[in-house]
């Protein structure tokens, strides 16, 4: 079962899982879904709607008889300095990127516990490990996702349920282009915005239909499906993408040095 499957990584995962011979339940908010397949069930779900998440899992189990894998993929980014983000924008991104995976996980857990097997895959980011100026709310949502998922992994291992946090680097989807949302800018941040983001323009310029560059979603999907088929023992966090290891290393080295300097606090 894959959320936010209408395009990007979600759609690539649907394709890869079908190729690998699995039955797939895809959730989307769209009326039209780009592919049809006898082994594909498409459900209309907005992951911010907790009740809809529970109904979708019930329907998935009714359709397939069980639920082996849930991939919480639905999510988007928001560009805005902390001072620029308004209440609606903050609540909306937390609702989608943090609470969406929480509601879907809560809906799937009773099924997986009863089966005494299951795998919940949380699509996080290198931005779930480090933070970047103007991405604070996205970082907060993904850090939150990682926090509850790390706790969850230890809570449910004894029931045969596995959790993977996929920390993906730059990926060639519309995440950074057509899907990106932007807060109303305050001019005082323009200089730092230009320095850190390469442009002071809000929204940042992109050609219609352009993607952001980075690893192809098909390659990321391939890696994920291989990991799910044969999970690396003891691996909670899965780094995906050429830039991902160096991105997290920079962040963690800096944090380790900061803590080491306070060894006798």
Ligand X SMILES: NC(=O)c1ccc[n+]([C@@H]2O[C@H](COP(=O)([O-])OP(=O)(O)OC[C@H]3O[C@@H](n4cnc5c(N)ncnc54)[C@H](OP(=O)(O)O)[C@@H]3O)[C@@H](O)[C@H]2O)c1
Task: Point out which residues bind ligand X (CB under 6 A).
Answer: 3-10, 28-30, 46-48, 73-76, 96, 123, 125, 168, 170-171, 173-176, 179, 212, 214, 217
Nearer to ligand X, 41 or 170 (CB): 170
Write down the least CB distance from residue 79 to ligand X, Å.
13
Write down the least CB distance from residue 57 to ligand X, Å.
14
The residue with its CB nearest to ligand X is: 8
Residues with catalytic roles: 124, 138, 142
Write down the least CB distance from residue 214 to ligand X, Å.
6
DSSP letters, the chain, are -BSSTTSHHHHHHHHHHHHTT--EEEEES-SS-S---TTEEEEE--TT-HHHHHHHHHHHHHHHSS--EEEE-----EE--TTT--HHHHHHHIIIIIIHHHHHHHHHHHHHHHHT-EEEEEEEEGGGTS--TT-HHHHHHHHHHHHHHHHHHHHHGGGTEEEEEEEE--BSSSTTTTT-EEPPP-GGGHHHHHHHHS---SSPP--TT----SB-HHHHHHHHHHHHHSPPTT--EEEESTTHHHHHHHHHHHHHHHHHTTTT-
Beta strands at 78-79 and 181-182: parallel, antiparallel or unpaired: parallel
Write down the least CB distance from residue 225 to ligand X, Å.
15
Nearer to ligand X, 8 or 136 (CB): 8
Write down the least CB distance from residue 187 to ligand X, Å.
28
Nearer to ligand X, 26 or 152 (CB): 26
Nearer to ligand X, 85 or 176 (CB): 176
Nearer to ligand X, 205 or 233 (CB): 205
């Amino acid at each position: 079962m894959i959320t936010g499957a209408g395009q990007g990584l979600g759609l690539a995962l649907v394709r890869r899982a079908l190729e690998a011979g699995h039955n797939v339940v895809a959730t989307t908010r769209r009326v039209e879904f780009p592919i049809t397949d006898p082994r594909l069930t498409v459900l209309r779900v907005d992951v911010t709607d907790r009740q809809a998440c529970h109904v979708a899992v019930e329907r998935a189990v009714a359709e397939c008889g069980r639920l082996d894998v849930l991939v919480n993929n639905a999510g988007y980014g928001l560009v805005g300095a902390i001072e620029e983000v308004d209440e609606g924008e903050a609540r909306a991104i937390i609702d989608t990127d943090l609470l969406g995976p929480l509601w879907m996980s809560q809906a799937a857990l009773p099924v997986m516990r009863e089966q005494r097997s299951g795998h919940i895959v949380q699509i996080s980011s290198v931005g779930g490990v480090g933070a970047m100026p103007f991405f604070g709310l996205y970082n907060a949502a993904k850090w939150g996702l990682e926090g509850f998922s790390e706790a969850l992994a230890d809570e449910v291992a004894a029931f045969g349920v596995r959790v993977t946090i996929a920390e993906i680097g730059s990926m060639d989807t519309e995440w950074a282009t057509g899907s990106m949302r932007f807060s109303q800018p305050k001019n005082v941040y323009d200089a730092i915005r230009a320095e850190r983001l390469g442009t002071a323009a809000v929204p940042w310029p992109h050609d219609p239909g352009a993607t952001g560059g980075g690893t192809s979603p098909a390659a990321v999907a391939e890696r994920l499906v291989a990991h799910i088929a044969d999970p690396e023992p003891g691996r909670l966090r899965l780094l995906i993408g050429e830039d991902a290891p160096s991105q997290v290393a920079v962040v963690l080295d800096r944090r380790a040095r900061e803590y080491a300097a306070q060894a006798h606090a």
